[in-house]
Amino acid sequence: MSDSFAEKVMDGFYEFIHTSDWHEGKKVVQSHPELLQPLASQFLALTLAQPEIWFKGHVSHQDAERYVRLHLGVLEACREKGVQSTFSDLT
């Protein structure tokens, strides 16, 4: 049985926010095209109410929110400008 869209988005975003650098992050985004769909953006924005879920309590709410917002912003830029252009700006 295949994963649902929500599971794919959650798995992809978890992998994305836990990359060690933007080069690795680009690879994750390229391998998870579902992250660039508008519905994914809306779905992931809902997690901002409890952003620490992405970090299993290892960071404060404020740090988790800042980090999640940063990565959501990168995905938004990828949707608007393309993956290559966005990550070229970051590296």
What is the residue type of 4? S
pLDDT above 60 for 74 = yes
- The domain in which residue 62 lies consists of 5-90
Counting the structural domains of the chain, the total is 1
Q: How far apart are CA 82 and CA 91, in angstroms?
A: 15
pLDDT band at 1; cut points 50, 70, 90: very low
Average pLDDT, the chain: 91
CB 85 within 8 A of CB 28: no
What is the residue type of 50? Q
Q: How far apart are CA 13 and CA 43, in angstroms?
A: 11
pLDDT band at 59; cut points 50, 70, 90: confident
pLDDT above 80 for 14 = yes
pLDDT band at 2; cut points 50, 70, 90: low
pTM for the complete prediction? 0.89
CA 52 to chain CA mean position, Å: 14
